[in-house]
A and B are shown apart, each in its own frame.
Chain A
Amino acid sequence: MPTRAEFASWLAGAGAFIRTGPFIIHARTPIAHAIEGITTLYDGYPVTPAEPFADFHVALAASGGLRRFVRRQVDFEFDGEKPYRPLPLDQALPMFEWGLNAVIGGTAHQFLIVHAAVVARDGFAAILPAQSGSGKSTLCAALVNRGWRLLSDELTLFSVETGAIHPLARPMNLKNESIEVIRNFVPGAVLSRPTHDTVKGTVALLKAPAESVARAQETARPAWIVSPLWQRGALCELTPKSRADTMIELGQNAFNYSVHGRRGFHLLADAVERCACFDLRYSVLDEAVTAFAALEIPAAARAA
């Protein structure tokens, strides 16, 4: 593993090659606070100064538009293009993560990709599809600090060949009150400095657990699909959900379903058939974690 100083110098120069899950990301930026954030959050990942191949070539660069005279901005570059509108310069680090999510979701068609957090235990995965603001990432962050392995807090990568889920253990995106909730829930949590006034409010990125990063090549079999919803004051309630409704929800949350067509439809249906499906309403993280601990592995998932 490189030192943080080496990692930082590569990012600031010709770029660092970061291996995360099935991908190699070639990243570079001259922006000091982005370098500090990336080297903090990706410290411990396999990082090198050169590779013969990278899946994604990305960069963060100070924007050259006229707005730079009013408020400095940052561009996310992907393969030399700028696919997104620039953001204020202080949002460079969240933009790096959001931009990566978008380019992976939009281009990694060797996977069927669903917008859902996913965690694993004993080789079996729990998929958490949910809308923004449902508490998905907060719950994911809590679970991976209570015995579950982080596969991803944002992108569930189904192998089109086998239906297995590939890990993509990257930093977890916490918003607003969740930042303090997780600071208290996970003593010693490594978090980026909060970034204020983003489109999602105040955001901070939580470093993935080292064990999840180390086991980044271990796939997991789908076993549970749990749609979480945080509601202030709600009693923790895990309610069985129809597989058909779960299938519709997964389809609506898929990034590249239409790319895979019928094959994607049957792949998702196969996964749903093997999983136990639930809605989870909760307000207290410990109660939700306890509910997850009690999940039994469905026989169909074991047999798959």
Chain B
Amino acid sequence: MGTSWRAAFPLERRELDGETVAYCDATGDTLKLAPIARAVLDVLSRAPADLQALSAAAAEALAADEEAIEPAVADTVEDLESLGIVERVSL
């Protein structure tokens, strides 16, 4: 069974000239979300997803090739996990 992730908590978000900033209630931090992070969090805020589903969603959102974008999505998920914004789940 593959690994899936979910959003650890909802983030307050604002779009500023096409860029996204988010407020993390748990830490009090404000983050600027890269487009890939935004795409990943869009998915995970609705339901848990695995790397394949996240890559597919990011590829669609960014008009990129799914296979090519997968390493960047994996890095992003790792970053978000280290920040405590997403967490692993067992499905």
Contact = CB atoms under 8 A, between A and B. Distances in A.
A269 B25 contact: no
A283 B32 CA distance: 31
A251 B32 CA distance: 11
Contacts of B67: none
Residue in B21, B25, B31 whose Cβ sees the most chain A Cβ within 10 Å: B21
A245 B20 CA distance: 10
Given A244-B17, A262-B12, A262-B23, 20 more contacts: A242-B19, A243-B17, A244-B16, A244-B19, A244-B21, A244-B32, A245-B32, A247-B21, A248-B30, A248-B31, A248-B32, A257-B28, A257-B30, A261-B23, A261-B25, A262-B25, A265-B14, A269-B16, A272-B16, A273-B16
Nearest to A273: B16
Nearest to B22: A265
Contacts of A261: 23, 25, 28
Nearest to A243: B16
Contact of A266 (B14, B28, B31, B32): B14
Interface residues of B, number: 14
Interface string A252-263: 100001100110
20 contacts: A242-B16, A243-B16, A243-B17, A244-B17, A244-B19, A244-B21, A244-B32, A245-B32, A247-B16, A247-B21, A248-B30, A248-B31, A251-B30, A252-B30, A262-B23, A262-B25, A266-B14, A269-B14, A269-B21, A273-B14
A248 B32 CA distance: 7
Nearest to B18: A244
Interface of B: 12, 14, 16-17, 19-21, 23, 25, 28-32
Residue in A245, A248, A265 whose Cβ sees the most chain B Cβ within 10 Å: A265
Residue in A245, A251, A272 whose Cβ sees the most chain B Cβ within 10 Å: A251
Contacts of A248: 21, 30-32
A262 B21 CA distance: 12
Contacts of B29: 251
A262 B10 CA distance: 11
B43 to A, nearest CB: 21
B12 A247 contact: no
A244 B20 contact: yes
